[in-house]
A = this chain, B = another copy of it.
Amino acid sequence: MHDKVNLAAKLTAVGEPFAPKIVAQLNDYKIEVVKAKDEFVWHAHPDTDDFFLVLAGRLTIQLRDRSIDLGPGQLFVVPRGVEHCPRADEEAHVLLIEPVGTPNTGDAGGERTAVETRI
């Protein structure tokens, strides 16, 4: 539970895009790694902000009124309730932080909703 985490090593165990895996926990927040490729689904999290830090590659967080383009070492916090849709033309590796229990698809739900899994 309380060992150090090598993010690049954890990412080698991640397959499907936009299926986050939990690698650590900070109080009641889950620390996750995810691979992004192509487009996810538009959704919002009504009860929480949503933290994205790009580790490798480039990620675009589409908002309804603008897009946030992130490279390695760049982060963005989507405010609670704000619709967003992540997209990556090439595979990107991302660190996510959200409260435990927050679904990856937010209020949209659907078949791309991931089960919370620790690796």
Q: Which chain A residues have a beta carbon within 8 Å of chain B's beta carbons?
A: 2-8, 23-27, 29, 31, 48-49, 51, 53, 55, 68-70, 73-77, 79-80, 95, 97, 99
Chain B residues with Cβ below 8 Å from A3 are 76
Known: A5-B74, A73-B6, A77-B24. A29 touches B29 (CB 8 A): yes
- Interface residues of chain A: helix, strand, loop or mixed (majority): strand
Are A8's CB and B73's CB within 8 A?
Answer: yes
Cα separation A24 to B31 with both chains bound (whole Å):
16
**A23 closest partner in B (C-beta):** B75
Q: Are B4 and A75 in contact (CB under 8 A)?
A: yes
Among A25, A29, A55, residue most surrounded by chain B Cβ atoms (within 10 Å): A29
